[in-house]
Structure 1
Amino acid sequence: MKTLNKELQSKLSISEVKQILVDGNKRFVNGESAERNLLQQVNETSTGQFPHTVVLGCIDSRVTAEQIFDLGIGDIFKARVAGNIVNEDILGSMEYGCKVAGSKLIVVLGHTSCGAVTSACKGVELGNITTLLSKMKPSVQKVEKEVEDVTTTESIQKVVIENIHNSMAEIRNNSEILAEMEKNGEIEIIGAYYDVADGKVQFI
């Protein structure tokens, strides 16, 4: 697999970048990961980086973006925070990744059995975790209107999906740079949902 450079990155269309992720996840699920010389990629990226995607994911140890999309060193930017929520620092990082470094795609990556979302559904309050979980309340409250018990496994998964959509909306509403880039067709902001049981990613 070729290491991304500026020329290769610039030639990629948004649809091609999406296909890279789709194909990579298929290889991952099938146990057919592409052969890579990671040390060579270290050397080739030592003078610059040109990732095609920015991934906002959860800190969950089972959800490692490079592995589940079968990617190499220098392919993506990653921001990881419990519950894949959005804040100013993450927005600034995304703006750098897209406006400055040329990434074409932003993926908000949620997952099944998310501890942060589960805690938000159960109303957990503990130190700084309380503030973090409060960012998921809009998603919890929306699902609460549709179900009797928001703490069931099925309801929690609905909140996970809603939380992905909420984070996508937060990006568009709170970053003029990224919203304008998407409007101009320079980038696309999409959601994805990883199943920790089978390794498959669904794009939403």
Structure 2
Amino acid sequence: MKTLTKEMQAAITPAMALDILKAGNKRFVNNLKVNRNLLQQANETSDGQHPFAIILSCIDSRTSVELIFDQGLGDVFSVRIAGNILNEDILGSMEFGCKVAGAKIIVVLGHTKCGAIKGACDHIEMGNLTALLSKIQPAVYDEKTVTENRNSDNGEFVEKVAAINVKRTVHAIIERSPILKEMIGTGEIEIIGGNHDITTGEVSFYEDTLIINNSK
């Protein structure tokens, strides 16, 4: 697999970028990863990087985006934080990745059985974690379909909150970043949310979160 160059990155459209990620995850699920010379890629990217995607995911040790999307060095910007939440530093990193470095798609990726989501469902308070989990709380309150056992013992509730959290983050990116919103408007980038099943390895994208040209 060739290392991405500036010319190769420029030729990738946002729609193509999503297809590349989907194809990579299919390879991962089927244990058919592409053979890469990572040392060679390290050498070839030493003077510059041209990733095609930014992926905001959880710090969970089972959700390494380079692995689950079968990507190499220099292919993706990986932003990892518990509960795949959003803050100013992450937004700034996304703006850099798209506006300066040329990435074509932003993916907000949640995952099943997320510890941060469970903590928010249980209203855990512990040191600095309290402030982090407070950013997930709105998703807990937005989940209205489950009326009983609204805690981490209820797997259905946890997964529904996780999905809402991803979708809220997708829209928050647009609301809080005029730069990224403008880039969507000009067709330079797209944003979409998804979920990684840690049992099967499969990533499912929430097609209703796909934002193209400010159409949603």
TM-score, L = length of structure 1: 0.98
Match of 1:201 in 2: 203
Separation in structure 2 between the aligned mates of residue 119 and residue 45 of structure 1, nearest angstrom: 39
2:145 alignment partner in structure 1: 146
The answer for the alignment partner of 2:67 in structure 1 is 67
Per-residue deviation, 1:66: 0.2
In the other structure, the counterpart of 2:210 is none
- Between Structure 1 and Structure 2, the one with more helix by share is 1
Q: Secondary structure at the match of 1:17?
A: helix
Alignment of 1:101-116 (within 5 A): 101-116=101-116
- The CA deviation at 1:14 is 1.2
**Where do 1:68-87 residues align within 5 Å?**
68-87=68-87
Partner SS, residue 127 of structure 1: coil
Structure 1 residue 16: Cα displacement: 1.1
Which structure 1 residue ranges, 5 or more long, are not aligned?
none
Alignment match, 1:41 = 41
Residue 136 of structure 1 pairs with residue 136 of structure 2:
yes
Aligned residues: 203
Output the CA distance in 2 between the equivalents of 1:141 and 1:103: 33
- Which ranges in structure 2 are unaligned for 5 or more consecutive residues? 207-216
Amino acid at match of 1:201: V
Cα RMSD over matched residues? 0.6
For residues 9 and 59 of structure 2, the distance between their equivalents in structure 1, rounded to whole angstroms, comes to 27
Counterpart in the other structure of 1:99: 99
Which residue does the alignment assign to 1:125?
125
Runs of 4+ in 1 over 4 A off after TM superposition: none
Take 1:55 and 1:174, find their aligned partners in 2: how far apart are those partners?
17
The 3-state SS of whatever aligns with 2:3 is coil
Query: 3-state DSSP class of the match of 1:59?
Result: coil
In structure 1, the residue matched to 2:209 is none
**In the alignment, what sits opposite 1:189?**
191
Shift of 1:40: 0.4
TM-score after normalising by structure 2? 0.93
Matches of 1:191 and 1:66, distance apart in 2:
17
Cα displacement string for residues 47-90 of structure 1 (whole angstroms, at most 9, x for unaligned residues): 00000000000000000000000000000001110000000000
Aligned-residue identity in percent: 54
